[in-house]
Amino acid sequence: MHLPAGYREQSPSPLAARHVETAWSFCADAAGTGLVLPDGRCDIIVYTPPGAAAVDLVLCGPATRAFSLSFEAGARWIGLRLRPERGALIWGEELVRATDRVLRGADAMAYLPALAPLCRLGVTGAEIETALDALPPRRADPGLTRSLEATHLSGGRLDVDRLARHVGLTTRHLSRLWRAHVGLSPKTYAQIIRFHRALRLLRDELGGGLTPIAAAYEAGYADQAHMARAFRRFGGFAPSGIPEGLNLPGMPGMPG
């Protein structure tokens, strides 16, 4: 996200870490806008408008496109970013249709009534973690977990056939697991990871790192034009126009 001071990320509690990748919060000191980049994850968010007497529950499906966020001074968000393989914890069988889907307020509470008690002023991140842990568990296949790790470690450079061979599953079965638990195909998720990899390489280039040509090659793109198309798709900007102060979500295991 491209957000001003007031945005914080922290590790979840040991209990919540089974499902949660990052606990985050943002309290806007002033009105502004932010750019939220796709990371292929699902989020649970409690949003408190400035001066509001009530809060909204927000459920986000796996993100594959960037969007602009406008906010007013005093607005407050508390959120949990789920591990990529835990999206079904929120969406269940609907996960395959939840890509870039967002439910807010009454729609979110109707979809997941167990989280309705979170919609009150003063709710804490710890309370959101506790409510999430009380949801019916959905165990991810070990092969899926290993293929996710390999995708991150390779920077998104492994195709689904190589991933399947790596974890000892058929390509078809592995793709079904990804759809059921991540909500995205291995190809789409790998493209997002590759985009973030290239983005980091290019941003570091400003401090004396790789050149754009080298960054495209290192990230696994055929050429700079290929990288530019990915940047327009997932970021809405060109490799030469990376927004200043862009805050990138963590991608565990991704090579530097």
Q: What are the beta bridge partners of residue 44?
A: 59, 80
Residue 11 has φ and ψ, to the nearest 5°, of -70, 140
pLDDT of 4 above 70: no
Q: Would you say the pTM of this structure is higher than 0.95?
A: no
Kindly report the backbone phi and psi dihedral angles of residue 189, in degrees, each rounded to the nearest multiple of 5, phi listed first.
-65, -40
Q: Which residues pair with 71 in a beta bridge?
A: 32
Closest CA to 183 of 251, 82, 115: 82
Question: Do 64 and 235 meet the contact criterion of CB atoms below 8 Å apart?
Answer: no
- pLDDT band at residue 256 under the 50/70/90 scheme: very low
Smallest CA-to-CA distance from 242 within 66, 39, 31, 8 is with 66
State yes or no: pLDDT of 108 exceeds 80. yes
At residue 207 the predicted structure's pLDDT band, cuts being 50, 70 and 90, is very low
Q: Is residue 254 pLDDT above 70, yes or no?
A: no
Element (H, E) at 172: helix 171-181
